Amino acid sequence: MSEQQSPFRRFWSEFQENRFAVLALIVVVVMALLAFFAPHVVPQNPYDLENLSLLDARRPPGFVGSGGYSHLLGTDPQGRDLLSAILYGLRISILIGLAAGVVALALGTTVGIAAAYVGGRLESVLMRIVDLQLSFPAILLALVLVALLGQGKGQLITALVAAQYAYFARTAYGAAKGERRKDYIEAALATPLSGRQVAFRHLLPNCLPPLIVVATVQIANAISLEATLSFLGLGLPVTEPSLGMLISNGFPYMMSGRYWISVYPGIALIILIVAINMVGDQIRDQFNPRLRK
């Protein structure tokens, strides 16, 4: 018998075997840390309009502006230092993606597990709503909701949650439906333990693996969805640009050679999303029993 090993330990040692996934995880963590500590890292507060000068607008990378420091990645049409704006934008993107992902996870899991556990009419009603929602693209629903609710972080998160919880609900439902039939659930019910205890202490932990996979992918999706909405001008106010809005702001200047305004935020967005997806892929592979050694 092997030494005492918690499932998490085992998981981590297996995760480490994939160098790319570890690299991706490091990238995600570094970006998250940079974004989180952005105010202490960057030379300029891009949201403070007093700091901005329109004379510095659309300057190329390396330009030394009125603030007296070099704009490493250039400046945007409002004269913001692009590096600062990207890190601040990253902060908003990660915050919104994470918040939307976590809330959607909680909501979707509750819906899915309740449907699978209770069964009967509740199951039919809940899952038909979910199916209905999954049958048209998430961005459509998000667009409509943002248009209805207006701008702001809370509204954006609400829209993203509404668009994405269905994926979690479907996954949780499928997992819970499978676990529900297993003997250990029956054993818990035969003790007897309360329905709540069975659902939370036994059913939920055993449904987590596929949910974690979906969660990583959906956080990346939420970030790109938010970027899409912002790019379309439906996300956050112009004064607090997220990555999508920065890309959108630079878009008109692409053809006039001022590529950096759109391209650098775009690169940051792509790196983040690809890295999150790589981590997600590795987690998915590890949870897939058929790929297990």
Partner 1 sequence: MTAFFRIDRVSRAFAPEITLGDRIAAKLGARVETRSLQAVNAVTLELAKGETLGLVGESGCGKSTLGRVAAGILPPSSGTVALDGKPVLLNGRKATTRIQTVFQDPFASLDPRMKVGETVAEGPVAHGLVSQAKAGEYVSEWFARVGLDPAFAGRYPHQFSGGQRQRIAIARALAMKPDLLICDEPVASLDVSIQAQILNLFLHLRRELNLTCLFISHDLSVVRHVSDRMAVMYLGRVVEQGETAQLFETPAHPYTRALLASVPKLTLDDEAIVHFEPIEGEIPSPLSPPPGCHFSPRCAFVQERCRREAPELREVQERRFAACHFSESLIEQGSSDFKGFDR
- Minimum CB separation of residue 282 from partner 1 in Å reads 20
Our CB check for partner 1 shows the closer of 4 and 256 to be 4
Contacts of 217 (CB under 8 A, 6+ apart): 276, 277, 280
Mark 194-213 with x for binding to partner 1 (rule: CB under 8 A) and - for no binding: x--x---xx--xx-------
Q: Is 11 in the site for partner 1 (CB under 8 A)?
A: no
- Nearer residue to partner 1 within complex by CB, 51 or 197: 197
Residue 239 found at the interface with partner 1 (CB under 8 A): no
The one segment of 70-78, 189-197, 229-237, 240-248 that binds partner 1 by CB under 8 A: 189-197
Q: Is 13 in the site for partner 1 (CB under 8 A)?
A: no
Q: Using CA atoms, how far apart are residues 21 and 278, in angstroms rounded to an integer? A: 6
Instruction: Report if residue 188 touches partner 1, rule: CB under 8 A.
Output: yes
Q: Are 34 and 27 in contact (CB under 8 A)?
A: no
186 makes contact with partner 1 (CB under 8 A): yes
Task: Tell which one of 68, 135, 183, 257 touches partner 1 (CB under 8 A).
Answer: 183
When the beta carbons of 16 and 128 are compared against partner 1, the nearer one is 128
Q: Is 128 in the site for partner 1 (CB under 8 A)?
A: no
6/256 with CB nearer partner 1: 6
Nearer Cβ to partner 1 (139/208): 208
Sign of CA dihedral 231, 232, 236, 237: positive
Residue 187 binds to partner 1 (criterion: CB under 8 A):
yes
Interaction of residue 122 with partner 1, rule CB under 8 A: no
| Among 121, 148, 191, 257, interactor with partner 1 by CB under 8 A | 191
Residue 193 binds partner 1, judged by CB under 8 A: yes
Q: Does 4 bind partner 1 (CB under 8 A)?
A: yes
Closer to partner 1 at the Cβ: 5 or 288? Answer: 5
Residue type for 212, please?
A: I
Q: Choose one: 54-62, 182-190, 244-252, 254-262; the region binding partner 1 (CB under 8 A).
A: 182-190
Binding site for partner 1 (CB under 8 A): 1-2, 4-7, 182-184, 186-194, 197, 201-202, 205-206
